[in-house]
Amino acid sequence: MDKKVPVTQADKIKEKFKNQKDYQYLKKEQLIEAMSPEDILQELKNKGLPTYGTNRERIDRLKKANGLNPSDSNPAKKGSVVNSIEEISKKREERRKKMEEDKLYKEERKAENVAMGKGGDVVFEAMINQFRSQVPLQDQHIPSSSLKICVCVRKRPIFAKEEAQGEIDSISCSNPRVLVHETKVKVDGITKYLENHTFVFDNTFSEKEDNATVYEYSLKPLCPFILGGGTVTCFAYGQTGSGKTYTMKGLQSMVVNDLFAASRATFFVSFFEIYGGKCFDLLNDRSKLLILEDGNGNIQIQGLVEHTAANQVELIQMIEYGNSVRTTHSTTSNEDSSRSHAVCQITLKQKNIIVGKLRLVDLAGSERAQDCISNNRQRRIEGAEINKSLLALKECIRALRKGPDAHVPYRGSKMTLVLRDSFEGGSDDKKVIMITCISPGHSSSDHSLNSLRYADRLKEQSSGGNQVNQFIPKPDVAPVKKVVQQPLPSAKKIPPAKKEVKRDLERQEKQEKQDRQDRQERQEKLGKSFKDMEYIHDKNSEEEDKFGRDILDFHEKVETILAEEEELLENHVNAIKDDAQILTKEGELIALAQGDGDYDVDSYVQQMEILIKQKLQVYQGLYEKLLVFKAHLNEEEEFSNHLTQNLQNFKK
């Protein structure tokens, strides 16, 4: 048993003083706590203490000045602050740990990519893969036989060369959807994110599906339709280097084999290309062809040779030869890019009666209108012609869907002019397939989006409007705008001004009048072609063209240059022929003058004067046409620079 320590008198006195002191501290604390904010503020001023902070902080400061411990007065607050600090530290550690894990993952992925020869951004790659895991599963493809206009999309594989250059596969295909994962960086220059675009088409084919699969659901279901007297036109469209020619070559061989196996008709084939507004026969030494319209409104290709094919091997060989002599140029996207529209026409005849027709059209690499105005003149005119024909093609295909009474602007380009009977009539014996090819690289996302938007506009329709025999109300066709020359303001209306200002106004009016006259002359020269061009641009100006009127003027100038170039070459050839005849007469005249016999010098001078005047007349006319052509070339150059400057300002 522990012995109890007795309490001494000194301990009692010490305990008494401690209790009195605690009581005094408690009274002081209660007194301070009971003070109003104004009294606390005044007390702090009296003691020369700071007065900033909240009322709680002022109370604690006053307690501390009176020997009290402010922390003892609010222990709960102390615990709350400590807990908050600990929570912040914990989250900071978690973030650091996650950053280290992400950094390690990026380094591992980067090392794997380097080992596989890839150089793409691993952050974007991971984001795209994460998004792909949420894409719905692929649906079954539908055959094209149930559609009047079938719009398909095909994605080509990404090449090892592209991956080595840092390209990332930014396209996902899951029939009937196509997703474009556009890589973006926020304005801070650090944060990366994706902008995902989704499109839905009749059929979409991923990089894992070969030409046989594409053929199975595009051209193969239409073979009975062709053999039954129908006309099928199949287009391959897309950016340069997206696989159009590869796809078209595969479809050509397969459809030829199936048609030969199922028909006893005689097969005729013609193959021509349209390049820079000119037409060339690919199966006849690239001879130049003329596209003419007869009195009945039928389009005739003068000089085009149709070849008979005894069997499918011979027909495929002719098609392969035609593909080998197409016009190609090296571009930034493709070392051997097709820069012309190639039209392969296979006609089935029995006793000289057409019993079926198939057109396979490999379109030139599509470029945006803004991209074709900053190159050299040859590439610029080439790009403008390609884009003009693609705009015209879109409106012609739309007209096929709208019905037999819709306006078909087939004169908008040479390509749609020669394919006129593929669009007109709106009857059930015509079908169109558009296969849009896209490149998977993220640097091509802009071009891929343009191609997909183009294809998407082809299939715009009301519910079920794309089905065969579906009734579609007749659209209101906007009337073609006529150019009306405004009368020049009278000189009397010009307010009094200095002579220099008046001369400037007169000079400006004269220039404007001349510009209107030149424009009117060009429109008269282009005729119906210009009206269709204006119709096409009116239809597209609200959708895709931020420089609608300028682009129309640019296309008009290009069309004028091409027409004048043909005319100038023809006049030059005629001038050489006329000059040769004059030269023959000059030789005869000189031989007569240098002969042994006498000759009449007056007659010699008179005949020589006549010949010289004829020669001057021939070359004077040629020279005048040359000056006009040169002036239009300068106009095109200046206008192209103007468009380039506008585009740069727009991007800023």
Secondary structure of 39-68 in HEC code, one letter for each residue: HHHHHHHHCCCCCCCCHHHHHHHHHHHCCC
543 vs 227, more confident:
227
The Cα 106–Cα 478 span in angstroms is: 57
Using CA atoms in the order 288, 294, 300, 305, what is the torsion angle rounded to 10 degrees? -70
- Whether residue 241 is annotated as binding a ligand: the answer is yes
354 or 634, greater pLDDT: 354
Write phi, then psi, for 438 (nearest 5 degrees). Answer: -130, 150
- List, as one string, the DSSP characters of 274-308: EETTEEEETTTTTEEEEEEE-TTS-EEEETPPPEE
492: left (phi over 0), alpha (psi -120 to 50) or beta: alpha
In the predicted structure, residue 243 carries a pLDDT above the cut 80: yes
The alpha-carbon radius of gyration of the chain (Å, integer) is: 41
Strands 171-174 and 177-185, sheet pairing:
antiparallel
Distance from C-alpha of 198 to C-alpha of 177, rounded to nearest angstrom: 7
Please identify which residue in the block is written with the tokens 């403008």: 384
State percent of the chain over pLDDT 90. Answer: 17
Query: Which residue type does 606 have?
Result: Q
Res. 343: pLDDT tops 80: yes
Q: Is residue 359 scored above 90 in pLDDT?
A: yes
Question: Does residue 168 surpass a pLDDT of 80?
Answer: yes
Largest CA distance in the chain: 175
Residue 244: predicted pLDDT: 87
Single-letter amino acid, residue 199: F
Q: So what's the pLDDT on residue 480?
A: 36
The residue from 458, 492, 516 where one domain ends is 458
The confidence score (pLDDT) of residue 476 equals 37
**pLDDT confidence of residue 214:** 94
Where is the domain boundary, 458, 489, 524?
Answer: 458
Q: 586 and 445, same structural domain? A: no
HSE at residue 209, side-chain half, CA atoms within 13 A, is: 21
Task: Tell me the three state secondary structure of residue 482.
Answer: coil
239 is annotated as contributing to ligand binding: yes
Report which of residues 366 and 340 the model is more confident about: 340
Provide the CATH number for the domain around residue 399.
3.40.850.10
| pLDDT value, residue 485 | 40
Q: Which residue from 15, 149, 208 is spatially nearest to 433, judged by alpha carbons?
A: 149
Ligand-binding annotation for 91, yes or no, is: no
d(CA 454, CA 466): 17
What contacts 538, CB < 8 A, 6 or more positions away?
Answer: 478, 481
Q: 270-280 b/e with 16+ CB inside 10 Å = b? A: bbbbbbbbbbb
Q: Stretch 16-20: mean pLDDT, rounded? A: 74
CB distance 395 to 409 below 8 Å: yes
Last residue of a domain, one of 403, 438, 458: 458
Question: Domain for residue 371, yes or no?
Answer: yes
> Do 149 and 236 sit in the same domain of this protein?
yes
For residue 240, being part of any structural domain is answered with: yes
Lowest model confidence (mean pLDDT) among 99-103, 611-615, 616-620 = 99-103
Identify whether residues 366 and 255 lie together within a single domain. Answer: yes
375 domain residue, yes or no: yes
- The token pair at 59 is 């109370």
Residue 466: what pLDDT? 35
Query: Of 8-22, 114-128, 586-600, 607-621, which one has max mean pLDDT?
Result: 607-621
pLDDT at residue number 524: 54
Rounded CA gap, 219 and 235, in Å?
A: 11
Q: Is 621 annotated as a binding residue?
A: no
- pLDDT value, residue 535: 57
β-pair partners for 436: 153, 237
Q: Given phi > 0 = left and psi -120 to 50 = alpha, else beta, which region is 48?
A: left
- Dist CA 651 CA 644 (whole Å): 11
Of 589, 635, 630, 631, the closest CA to residue 609 belongs to 589
* Per-residue pLDDT tens over the stretch 194-216: 888 999 999 999 999 999 999 99
Q: How many CA atoms lie within 13 A of 404 on its CB side?
A: 8
Cα separation values, 56 from 51, 82, 194, 631, Å: 11, 18, 49, 86
Is the residue at 490 inside a domain? Answer: no
Residues 172 and 176: their CA atoms lie apart, in Å, by 11
523 in a labelled binding site: no
pLDDT digits (tens, 9 = 90+) for 51-69: 888 888 888 888 888 877 7
The answer to which of 18-27, 56-65, 413-422, 446-455 has the lowest mean pLDDT is 18-27
CB atoms under 10 Å from CB of 111, counted, come to 11
User: CB–CB of 252/360 below 8 Å?
Assistant: yes
Residues 98, 143 contacting (CB under 8 angstroms): no
Asked if the model's pLDDT at residue 488 lies above 70, the reply is no
Rounded to an integer, what distance in angstroms lies between the CA atom of residue 245 and that of residue 233? 16
Whats the size of the chain, residue-wise? Answer: 652
Do 348 and 226 fall into the same domain? Answer: yes
Number of domains in the chain: 4
Helix (H) or strand (E) holding 553: helix 548-593
Helix (H/G/I), strand (E/B), else coil: 517: helix
- Give the Cα separation of 406 and 423 in Å (integer): 10
Mean pLDDT of the chain: 77
Reported as a single tens digit per residue, the pLDDT across 581-607 is: 888 888 888 888 777 666 778 888 888
DSSP letter at 466 equals T
Residues 208, 83 share a domain? no
Residue 591's CB: how many other CB atoms inside 10 A?
A: 9
pLDDT (0 to 100) of residue 436 = 93
244-262 and 312-324 helices, crossing angle to 10°? 160
Question: For residue 282, how many C-alpha atoms fall within 13 Å in the half-sphere facing its CB?
Answer: 24
- H runs (alpha helix) in 351-493: 377-402, 414-418, 445-458
Token readout for 305 is 């040779």
Are 130 and 411 spatial neighbours (Cβ–Cβ below 8 Å)?
A: no
Residue 479 confidence (pLDDT) above 60: no
* Res 526: pLDDT: 52
Residue 4 located in a structural domain: no
Angle (deg, nearest 10), helices 445-458 and 377-402 = 30
Q: Are residues 30 and 80 in the same domain?
A: no
pLDDT of residue 426: 57
**Does some domain include residue 463?**
no
For 238, the token pair is 């897309």
What is the extent of the structural domain holding 80?
A: 76-115
User: Does any domain span residue 61?
Assistant: yes
- Tell me the average pLDDT across 247-260: 91
* Higher pLDDT pick, 349 / 625: 349
243 is known to lie in a ligand binding site: yes
- What pLDDT shows up at residue 629? 80
User: How many Å apart are CA 283 and CA 386, to the nearest integer?
Assistant: 22
- Residue 163, pLDDT > 60, answer yes
Q: Which residues contact 233 (CB under 8 A, 6 or more apart)?
A: 358, 359, 361, 419, 422, 430, 431, 432, 433
Q: How far is the C-alpha of 534 from the C-alpha of 549, rounded, in Å?
A: 9
In angstroms, the CA 378 to CA 366 distance is 16
Lowest mean pLDDT among 30-39, 542-551, 564-573: 542-551
C-beta neighbour count of 523 within 10 angstroms: 18
User: Are residues 252 and 165 part of one domain?
Assistant: yes
Task: Using alpha carbons only, give the angle 259, 260, 266 rounded to the nearest 5 degrees.
Answer: 105
Is 244 annotated for ligand binding? yes
Do 338 and 226 sit in the same domain of this protein?
yes
pLDDT of residue 349: 92
Q: Give CA separation, 27 vs 20, 65, 553, in Å.
A: 10, 15, 94
Same domain, 510 and 548: yes
Residue 89, CA atoms < 13 Å, CB-side half-sphere: 6
Mean pLDDT of 289-312: 84
Is-contact 556 522, C-beta < 8 A? Answer: yes
CATH number at residue 43: 1.10.720
Q: Per the annotation, does 166 bind a ligand?
A: no
Beta strands 341-350 and 337-338 are unpaired
Residues 377, 283 share a domain = yes
pLDDT of 215? 94
Q: What is the pLDDT of residue 345?
A: 93
Q: Return the structure tokens found at 123.
A: 């952050």
Do the beta carbons of residue 470 and residue 489 sit within 8 Å? no
Statement to judge: residues 413 and 376 lie in one domain: yes
Residue 518 included in any domain: yes
What mean pLDDT do residues 516-540 have? 57
Judgement on whether residues 152 and 165 belong to the same structural domain of the protein: yes
